[in-house]
Structure 1
């Protein structure tokens, strides 16, 4: 078997050196901002994960499932320093939480724009898995725009799939690009499936952070219904001007809720909202964002008497 030419080996060496330098530079830039988060319950540690500092005044991003319902956490930094932190807010629907730690922090991890990501680009996961101090794993962005179900049952949209190896202790740590920007918050690994892990996109995290800082929670629209997915007859789909074969059937309506006030009835089938097809309950949940709070929203409804348009004004979800 012929051996590679010396010049090819030199080229490979230069490429490896460039890759190593890129990863090392990103780790040097972001690593000092990555911290260990210990959940405190009844004065004792009750679990741990990772997080990262995003502002000099001690704002730290982590996962909701890392902090749970705890009010206080202990924050340990790579330099060995330890400080107390309080949970400012949490959003179980996206598995994001925001912590304020005491002190001034010189090292921060800037959030990048996850919309600029491309499949195949370098992904670097930094965290504190299983108590083995701070570790680094690398891989690539495997897929974009995935959906993953949160503990609340709501779908987290725009999730990044990566093959950078993760362990449970990596939860809440940053997924970093070669440009030394945080592109996601590591949140889940599929047990038993080698090389499949997920991170909440940085743009989603930015939205949640802004909502928590401004309102103390993430606002979402509420109409007061329970529903399930139902088949949509072809004629009803044509009249609704949608191509979906399924829609949402309203199973119950809460009294005095926006849906009831608008005249929606049990058994109504919602095929579209503001002209966008609603193929299932997940679509309904996804459409009820904060932007629709107190805003007239048009529901296309299939009932016994045919197709009708119902104007609903969603309120803020309790």
Structure 2
């Protein structure tokens, strides 16, 4: 009997990896959009928020061919994660917290109209945590050299050992992976409260250029917000946060992540040409 070649062994291993993962993969239909997702916990599916319609009914198709109505348990556009709730007992997938090495093989297992699909490529970038364009904190920068259709967003990215290290999504001109650490952190909050808490100062800001850097002019103030309670007024120009010069309005907004809620910051402002400091307790951004 002929011994299997290395290539044949690799092929068989990849096929077995896909077969083990496929039962946890679902198709997600929302309005006119199709995407993929995976069973995170019994009765809960994780999918790509970008690929989920903003309104209308949501239906998922399980690996056994059956369909279920689903409801949106929560979604976070900053990390591209949405959580769906459905009635069913499909077995969840086990996620690995290991970040794959640069150049290692990667398989994306997704679904298209209920049928499982697979894509093979490699990890083209593996780096530290980063912040998305929408301000979400992503725990690792993992890019894949893989072609991905819109309907395959929300599929699972696996390493050569068959371990799921994240969710594959379409980024600007590249395929990104939302890593396990981010998925676990965000979905736990979505399951509990249906939303991700964001920091809130209660001011509208306009960037201004100063002689020695940048500032943020307060254009309007929420009368019931944290800034108003601390004494911030319309027309004030914020120039520093906790003693550090302001890098810009966007940098200030990005600092108001979930972990900022309840913390106290010292804002240095120019009012009538004179510097003043105010201690502001960051609140939770109200739902809109």
Question: Distance in 1 between the 2:259 and 2:238 partners?
Answer: 23
Find the counterpart in structure 1 of residue 183 from structure 2.
Answer: 205
Contact 2:201 2:226 in 1 (8 A): yes
Question: Distance in 1 between the 2:169 and 2:51 partners?
Answer: 9
Find the counterpart in structure 2 of residue 83 from structure 1.
Answer: 68
Find the counterpart in structure 2 of residue 295 from structure 1.
Answer: 263
Contact 1:71 1:86 in 2 (8 A): no
Count of aligned residue pairs for this structure pair: 277
Instruction: Find 2:32's aligned residue among 42, 46, 71.
Output: 46
Structure 1 unaligned regions, length at least 5:
1-9, 40-44, 235-244
How high is the TM-score relative to the length of structure 2?
A: 0.82
Question: Distance in 2 between the 1:287 and 1:297 partners?
Answer: 11
Indicate the structure with greater strand content: 2
Residue aligned with 2:82, SS: strand
Contact 1:227 1:281 in 2 (8 A): yes
Matches within 5 A, 1:57-72: 57-70=42-55, 72=57
Q: 1:262 to 1:123 in 2, by over 3 A?
A: farther
Question: Distance in 2 between the 1:277 and 1:32 partners?
Answer: 52
Find the counterpart in structure 2 of residue 7 from structure 1.
Answer: none
Contact 2:26 2:36 in 1 (8 A): yes
Q: 1:314 to 1:81 in 2, by over 3 A?
A: same
Contact 2:197 2:258 in 1 (8 A): yes
Structure 2 unaligned regions, length at least 5:
none
Q: CA deviation at 1:211?
A: 0.9
Instruction: Find 2:240's aligned residue among 271, 287, 312.
Output: 271
Question: Distance in 2 between the 1:102 and 1:49 partners?
Answer: 19
Find the counterpart in structure 2 of residue 133 from structure 1.
Answer: 115
Residue 156 (1) aligns with residue 139 (2): no
Q: 1:311 to 1:122 in 2, by over 3 A?
A: farther
Residue aligned with 1:137, SS: strand
Residue aligned with 2:38, SS: strand
Q: 1:226 to 1:110 in 2, by over 3 A?
A: farther
Question: Distance in 1 between the 2:245 and 2:155 partners?
Answer: 36
String of CA shifts for 1:13-39, please: whole Å, max 9, x gaps.
Answer: 52x456435533432332221110112
Find the counterpart in structure 2 of residue 92 from structure 1.
Answer: 77
Question: Distance in 1 between the 2:94 and 2:208 partners?
Answer: 44
Indicate the structure with greater helix content: 1
Q: Which runs of 4+ in 1 moved over 4 A?
A: 228-234, 245-249, 274-278, 300-303
Question: Distance in 2 between the 1:175 and 1:276 partners?
Answer: 40
Root-mean-square deviation (CA, aligned residues, Å) is: 2.9
Residue 124 (1) aligns with residue 107 (2): yes
Question: Distance in 1 between the 2:80 and 2:160 partners?
Answer: 25
Instruction: Find 2:95's aligned residue among 101, 106, 111.
Output: 111
Instruction: Find 2:167's aligned residue among 174, 185, 209.
Output: 185
Question: Distance in 1 between the 2:254 and 2:105 partners?
Answer: 30
Contact 1:229 1:279 in 2 (8 A): no
Contact 1:37 1:66 in 2 (8 A): no
Q: 1:77 to 1:259 in 2, by over 3 A?
A: same
Q: CA deviation at 1:146?
A: 4.9
Question: Distance in 1 between the 2:115 and 2:280 partners?
Answer: 52
Question: Distance in 2 between the 1:62 and 1:276 partners?
Answer: 39
Residue aligned with 1:84, SS: strand
Q: 1:248 to 1:186 in 2, by over 3 A?
A: farther
